[in-house]
Structure 1
Amino acid sequence: MKNTELKIKDELQEESLFNGSLGRRSFLQYAGVSAAGLALVAAGCKKDRGYTDMNSGATLDFKDDFGVLNYAYALEQLEAAFYIKVASAPPASFSAAEKAYFQDIQFHEIAHREFFKNALSTAAIGSLEVDFSSINFTDRASVLGAAMAFEDLGVGAYNGAGIRISNTTYLLLAGKIVSVEARHAAYIRDLVSPGSFATAPQVATATALDMALAPDVVLAAAGKYIKTKINVINL
């Protein structure tokens, strides 16, 4: 199936998901039930797209936009799993405000994950198995360090993948998502070290631009936290 054959159903209507003033829980409900969310015509194409099975793992095929969207979906799965675990049992030293903010970030990441899952439909890879054994979820410094790594990696991943997206609607939505991820990154970095929300190398001093990371760099770093084998082709 060629890119020119892909159809987007009710693009303007679906884009309102990001433009509107939906509350986070309304957003989650919408994302969870909207079978048409960016309705990608993927039926019958699963064998040519990303997939996950017990033996071969998950395949990310970067030959077209589907591969990039599945790449984003994989990263959102990882982030959502992390924040769900933190929000369910935050470190005892977290303040009430920090607990509340981590709850909010959890809802954002779940919304992002479910959005990609529904948008990709049958072309989506399956659920990834995560490995957070290197993170001490009872320790504030360990949790914040991991959160900073995930957020910085996510922002760099979206920025680096943008050039690979040919469909302008997908590119626009990716830009909206990465702006939220950047807010997360700034908040987390400031908790770790006040005033470091936009410091190098995350933000280049000379150009005031966020970093952009290639998929192979991102997946190598994320691989520490993912048990499922990730197969990358046509990168």
Structure 2
Amino acid sequence: MDVQQNESGLPSLPGQFEPVRVGRRLFLRFAGALTAGGALLSACKDEENPTTVMATVDLGSGDVGILNYAYALEQLEAAFYTQVVSTPFSGITTAETQILTDLRDHEIIHREFFKAALSTNAIGSLTPNFTGINFSDRSSVLNTAKAFEDLGVAAYNGAGNLIKDVNYLAIAGKIVSVEARHAAAIRDLLNPKSADFAGDDVVTPSTGLDAATKPSGVLPTAQRFVRTPISGANLPTA
């Protein structure tokens, strides 16, 4: 695949972003091709050792900064679901295991996409902080998942108009649609057969549109779950 650089210094992507079925072989093929081409949240406590000082990660500016912003959020979600699947909560059902495993695989694919697209412009691996989550408790896990997915959807919606490269904007639009499916699936696990899959807290009744939150509103919330200090000071705002 012929990869050209756009004005932001990022590899230009083909116009089509083909859907990918989750699976090790397909995932590796997908990743290789890309390489070529809150209340609940605020309640979590950061118990990091105060004597440990970690270097601040600057997300950057322009499209590089916005893609790193998305990459940081996908790192967080991938790490969360990886932990969920590795240490299942008490009483987890076969159906819940399948759903959470699918979500884990999707988030890993999203994470690896941004890492490959950014190439040498990508930030490093972030260190998660999940000390406030009880992974053995179903309610703790699913409500945290709900908060993460709702935050992710609002984050993509709020950053969409900040992306200049139309190819990346199109892909971000496809990824956020998957994140919205995740959010609906988690809400249905919490409240089966209810209208909560698109509750008034995330979809404005008068417009029928999902919430949209700018990076300045998302990062402080996400930071509670990441030990690595993250700075979005140079991200575009308009």
Q: Shorter-chain TM-score: which interval?
A: 0.7 to 0.9
Structure 1 gaps of 5+ residues are: 39-53
Report the residue type matching 2:224 in the other structure. K
Q: Note the alpha carbon deviations across 1:140-182, whole angstroms, 9 max, x for none.
A: 0000011001000000000000010011000000011000000
1:141–1:111 Cα change, 3 Å: same
User: Which residue does the alignment assign to 2:222?
Assistant: 222
Q: Note the alpha carbon deviations across 1:88-132, whole angstroms, 9 max, x for none.
A: 121122111001110111100000001111111100000000000
User: Which residue does the alignment assign to 2:201?
Assistant: 201
Q: Secondary structure at the residue paired with 1:11?
A: coil
Distance 2:10 2:143 in 1: 41
Equivalent residues, number: 214
1:120–1:102 Cα change, 3 Å: same
Q: TM-score, normalised by structure 2?
A: 0.83
Report the residue type matching 1:169 in the other structure. N
Report the residue type matching 1:233 in the other structure. A
1:198–1:181 Cα change, 3 Å: same
8 Å CA contact 1:157, 1:215 repeated in 2:
yes
User: Which residue does the alignment assign to 2:31?
Assistant: 32
User: Which residue does the alignment assign to 1:148?
Assistant: 146
RMSD after superposition: 2.0
Q: TM-score, normalised by structure 1?
A: 0.84
Structure 2 gaps of 5+ residues are: 38-52
1:175 equivalent among 173, 195, 198: 173
Shift, 1:32, TM fit: 3.5
Shift, 1:20, TM fit: 4.2
Shift, 1:201, TM fit: 1.9
User: Which residue does the alignment assign to 1:80?
Assistant: 78
Report the residue type matching 2:201 in the other structure. P
Distance 2:56 2:98 in 1: 35
Distance 1:222 1:59 in 2: 15
Q: Note the alpha carbon deviations across 1:186-234, whole angstroms, 9 max, x for none.
A: 0111212232000112011111100001101111111110000112223
Higher relative contact order (CA 8 A, sep 6+): 2
Report the residue type matching 2:58 in the other structure. T
